[in-house]
Structure 1
Amino acid sequence: MVKKITTAEFNSMDKSGVSVLDFNATWCGPCKMLAPVLEEVSEEMAGQANFYSIDTDENPDLAREYGIMNIPALVVLKDGQKVDMNVGFAPKDALKEFVSKNI
């Protein structure tokens, strides 16, 4: 499950383990295409990584903190540290591989 969070929720959450941050916006076509694919990946990888959705319009400070210039952008955190990033739409198999290589 991909959980929608705000900057305040992100700042107060436990960041241990692997987290995937999906930076997106409601007006972004590729973001809308990525959302259901990422939801499938999150269900298949439950227990291996936590998945979060962050609206860049509502949380610009968090997007700035992670250097998000284009969306959709996926950032992988390992114990709170950025270890990888992918920008743009990707098919399910590519997303699973991207997340798996960072676990």
Structure 2
Amino acid sequence: MHHAPALLQRCRPASSPWPQDAEALVRLAGALTDANTLLDDMTGGSPLPAQERNARVWAVVETWLTDSEPFLRQARVSAPHRRPALALSAPALPLGPARPAHHR
């Protein structure tokens, strides 16, 4: 619930190889909204019957379980790209001459 909103905002399924993931991301965003509403209801002093609370929690969890694969795929493709490491074939730079250790 803490990191998913920012990751969902970065996702651009229309410009990815999987534009069909857009519907899953909409469902996940809705599930996050539902989870936040439920959390507000639970912490706001408004007691919820256990059956209602469990049904609402399960609906959110079920959505995330169902749509987690498209979300992860989109999050990975939309992540900022890291700078490539130096190629292994890059020549090693020679070390300078060794300096004598300073003795007291």
TM-score (norm 2): 0.26
Structure with higher helix content: 2
Structure with higher strand content: 1
